[in-house]
Structure 1
């Protein structure tokens, strides 16, 4: 099977990874609520980390609900998606540094890592919205982090959630186009 066809098959069967991006939206909405609370920044950062534990169960549930195949046993690229997600964990020492040394910047660092890790999914799913939104999320969050100076930190996860909604919309439109061309 040609690589291009394999990637398009992966994209259509997995619905462009929409189950995972919808789950990410839910997680970033939860993180927004956490950062709206009156607890200390360190506590918020710890709760933020705990909330990420919901990502995989939500992703599996939402993928099942929208009938997206995320396992891809018969697709040679299926395991690559898992590796790309695990690769995000390699950046967590930066996040841990932020939590310890600069707690107000930890949310910005986590949001940048999240946005940037979406970029290779553009290749995996043969999907331009990932290529566009990954840098948009990362750069937007960086400027917000510079502008906010440790105040109103809830705007960072809120902006990620909004940008993920845009990504969901773009991925859905692209998915619909792909199934029209290759039913």
Structure 2
């Protein structure tokens, strides 16, 4: 396989990472619930961090349900996707600082980090949905996060993630149709 074939294979077999996006809807739901409670902000933020740790297990379960190959060791682009995800871990150091310095803004910073980390997946999966989400999410998170409570931002993130998932599903449907046409030729 050549470069583009490997990239296309990664996007198709991984279904453009939709299982991770679906898992993030659940996580943003948990974050909304956490921030609707009367718990102290430090406790809410601790539970928020804990809820983000559910991403990989949830996405694995969802991948099984929607029939996505979770990992393909033969395709080097699968490893690139992992590296692009791990890149986000370095940015969590900023979130840890916010946890202490401006705890009421932690959810905003997490949303900005989450959105911004999507940009390279736009290239990897040849996805306009990822590129748009990577720009829209940080801007919306900044505006909403500066004006409203954290739970409002989390609810808006759920809405954005649902729209993002629908957009990815439509892209995947389009890719499947294109793939069938190419095989027919």
Verify same fold: TM over 0.5. yes
Match of 2:173? Answer: 176
Identify which of 157, 160, 163 aligns with 1:160.
157
Note the C-alpha offset of 1:158: 1.1
Unaligned runs of 5+ residues in structure 2 are 181-185
Distance 1:103 1:78 in 2: 35
Distance 1:25 1:127 in 2: 19
Match of 1:30? Answer: 30
Note the C-alpha offset of 1:146: 1.9
Distance 2:54 2:169 in 1: 23
Distance 1:56 1:30 in 2: 15
Aligned pairs, number: 180
Match of 2:58? Answer: 58
Structure 1, residues 91-111: CA drift from partner, whole Å, max 9, x if none? Answer: 011101111011011111111
Unaligned runs of 5+ residues in structure 1 are none
Match of 1:77? Answer: 77
What TM-score results when the alignment is normalised by the length of structure 2? 0.94
Distance 1:126 1:70 in 2: 19
Distance 1:87 1:74 in 2: 22
Secondary structure, in 3 states, of the residue corresponding to 1:77?
helix
Distance 1:39 1:76 in 2: 44
Distance 2:4 2:159 in 1: 31
1:119 paired to 2:158: no
Note the C-alpha offset of 1:70: 2.5
Structure (1 or 2) with the greater helix fraction: 2
Match of 1:135? Answer: 135
Distance 2:142 2:50 in 1: 23
RMSD: 1.0
What TM-score results when the alignment is normalised by the length of structure 1? 0.95
Distance 2:51 2:145 in 1: 21
Note the C-alpha offset of 1:165: 0.6
Secondary structure, in 3 states, of the residue corresponding to 2:53?
helix
Note the C-alpha offset of 1:75: 1.1
